[in-house]
Amino acid sequence: MNIKKVLLIEDTTTKYMDIFRYLRRYDFDVTWVTNAEEALKSIEEVKDEPYDLIISDMHFDFFGVNDEEAGEKTMNRIREKGCVTPIVFCSSRNWKIPGAIGNIFYNPRSDWELEADRLFRDLKGM
């Protein structure tokens, strides 16, 4: 799998900065949004040249409601629109979501980057 364009859905600035610094190692072109509405709008705007990967938090604003399951709900909306871009969850809770191609358990006090490295190596082999 060749990854260049990444959509990152994350509402916490410090977590976004950690993930962004990590993704820059791979020289990805990262677009950052903070909620479900922005994510769906961004996907619609690039549908002729879609993202190669979506990385999503689980807990963020879902159409005006702070929702612990916003990531899964947003993924479902993305799929309803016909978008088949692979989705990885990066969350401080260790979610396993059907339909996602992976999960990164984010904890700034742990080496979450090792888990991400393994996942990205696997994705490149796809």
Considering the chain, what is the average pLDDT of its residues?
A: 93
Q: What is the mean pLDDT of residues 105-123?
A: 89
pTM here is: 0.93
Q: CATH number for the 5-124 domain, one of 3.30.450.20, 3.40.50.2300, 3.90.1150.10, 3.40.50.1980?
A: 3.40.50.2300
Q: What is the mean pLDDT of residues 19-43?
A: 95
- What DSSP element (H or E) covers 9? strand 5-9
Residue 126: pLDDT band by 50, 70, 90 thresholds?
A: low
